[in-house]
Amino acid sequence: MKIQQIAILGLLIVVGWGCTTPTNKMKLEYIGVAAENKGMHVWGSSPVMDKEGRVHLYAAQWPMNTQPNFSGWFKDCEIGHYVSDSPEGPFEYVGVAVADRDSLFNSPHNPTIHYMDGRYVLCFIVNENSKLKTQRIVMYVADDLSDNWRPASGAEPDGTILRKPQDSTLWNYKAKLGVSNPSLIKHNGKYLLYHKSVIPKQPKGSAYTYGVAVADNVEGPYTIFPQKVTPPKMQLEDAYAFAMNDSVYLMSRDFVGSLGNSGGGLLWQSKDGFYFDSKNTKRAYEDLAHYLGEEYLKDATAYRGKKHGHLERAQLLFIDDKPAYLYLATGVQVKPGYGSSSHVFKISFE
């Protein structure tokens, strides 16, 4: 199979990602499946490198056959732990990092992990009794990656670090599905916890929108910034935040196909991290068929979406302070007995 490449992220080249001139181009090279597990759906994988140089992936996973219509993600999910000597894999399944407790700590999902201020920080979402309107964000911290996680010091006893606000002056006070899909960065001495809320859209409908909560310490407590940081008219999902060269970026799914089909993604840029103008937003990546070809996927099973394989849950691995690998999830699978999986792309500069 011929590996396809695409020049991407032109905006970052212009503002400088450690490249010498604006004419340099960044490329994505499809490497292969990063994380999969027989009999399971594996959804998204967030990478972190340990002190020995091994790469660990934390991924949402749940049994394929317990729930219909892919709904196990908010009913029966847990966070799995995978490890490899290389960012490209193969990754070995280690075990469950965060278990599903059901009831009030139900279905841990959409993890994102960082090494920050001398500790590992793992953020993810849970809900109560499989009710999406109760989604909230949990933060765990640890000194190593042996999965001995503890709740962040500024969180509630179970690790809850952010809930739907009760203050009517805040942008997501009327959020329909709580707060979800966290992404954490440190910028200008502050800790910024980005999060999604689905808010009512006038005159009807809903808008998938992002906001940010701010703290002086990585373990919180966090205070929600009053205004949303992305425009509701240009909707996004699964945003991954990172800071570089005095700017803040979000890499997200292009939820409604604002700049292409909805199978690809967007790259947002902000100088301060508190507002991302749609005028500064570019196309970031395409769907899986773009890289593998429609012929390769013609007999695939689409557990979520269509056979072109829309890609979600962008998570980046930085090496030497530059983006080196991109991990994305898709609901399309060519291997019998396996569900959705995470894929890895190598980032290079031309």
CATH (domain of 188): 2.115.10.20
**Does 282 map to a domain?**
yes
Parent domain of 232: 31-349
323-346 average pLDDT score: 97
**Does 174 map to a domain?**
yes
φ, ψ of residue 308 to 5 degrees: the values are: -70, -15
- How far CA 262 is from CA of 186, 253, 309, 316, in Å, comes to 30, 7, 10, 20
Give me the pLDDT at residue 348, please.
87
Kindly tell me if the per-residue pLDDT of 11 is higher than 80: no
**Does 19 map to a domain?**
no
Give me the pLDDT at residue 229, please.
98
**Does 6 map to a domain?**
no
**Does 3 map to a domain?**
no
- pTM for the model stands at 0.94
Encode pLDDT of 20-66 as tens digits.
Answer: 222 235 689 999 999 999 999 999 999 999 999 999 999 999 999 98
183-200 average pLDDT score: 97
How many domains does the chain divide into?
A: 1
170-185 average pLDDT score: 98
Encode pLDDT of 271-319 as tens digits.
Answer: 999 999 999 999 999 999 999 999 999 999 999 999 999 999 999 999 9
Task: Answer for the pair 243, 273: CB distance below 8 angstroms, yes or no.
Answer: yes
Task: Answer for the pair 110, 122: CB distance below 8 angstroms, yes or no.
Answer: no
**Does 25 map to a domain?**
no
143-153 average pLDDT score: 98
